[in-house]
Amino acid sequence: MNGISKLALKESQIMKIHYITGILALFVVAVHILMRLVVPYSSSLEYAHVIANYHNIFYAILLESILVLISIHGFNGVRVILLELRQSKIWENSVTITTIIAMIVLVSYGTRTIILANGLGL
């Protein structure tokens, strides 16, 4: 348990990550939305076009960065909201551990999808 607490980040460090991921997410999501407008919106969502996006390695990296940035920012936001609901050490640690695990699961599953769709996994 001491080892875990040594690894624990200070709240100011967590919030720095929160703000940085928020700002970066704004940028990458803006690029993602702009890419929808390169072609007519409806055709940009067609199966072939979406798969073509995944096969583009730069676009796949962009999608992965959106996934990671939004997950870190979003799950920390959920953690902050939940921390205010109750004030006890057990609750705080449970919320922190649960949000970290949920984030890792979501990022892993999303990364798997990106890798499969990109064709790297085949």
Partner 1 sequence: MRELDNMTVKSDKKAGCDPRDDSFDLKKTTLRVFRTNTAQGKDSHFDSLVVPVQRWTTVLDSLLYAKSYLDSSIGIRYSCRMASCGSCGMKINGIPRLACYTKISELEDPVVVCEPLPNFPVIRDLVTDFTQFFNHHKSINPYIQNLNYDKTEKIDEVSSSHSHRQSREEVDKYLQFSYCIKCGLCYSACPTVATDTKFPGPQALAQLYRYYADSRDAGKNRLNIVDDRHGLWRCHFAGSCSKVCPKGVDPALGIQLLRSYMLGISKDKRNV
Judge contact between 18 and 77, C-beta under 8 A: yes
Q: How many residues bind partner 1 (CB under 8 A)?
A: 13
Closest CA to 65 of 114, 17, 105, 100: 114
Give min distance, CB of 84 to partner 1, in A. Answer: 5
Rounded CA-CA distance 39/25 in Å is: 23
Helices (H), 1-120: 2-7, 11-36, 41-44, 47-55, 57-85, 89-118
- Out of 2, 5, 12, 42, point to the residue binding partner 1 (CB under 8 A): 12
Q: Does 64 bind partner 1 (CB under 8 A)?
A: no
Rounded CA-CA distance 40/17 in Å is: 36
| Interface stretch with partner 1, choices 21-29, 42-50, 59-67, 76-84 (CB under 8 A) | 76-84
Give min distance, CB of 92 to partner 1, in A. Answer: 6
Task: Indicate the residue among 11 and 46 with the shorter CB distance to partner 1.
Answer: 11
List residues near partner 1 by CB under 8 A.
10-12, 14-16, 19, 80, 83-85, 87, 92
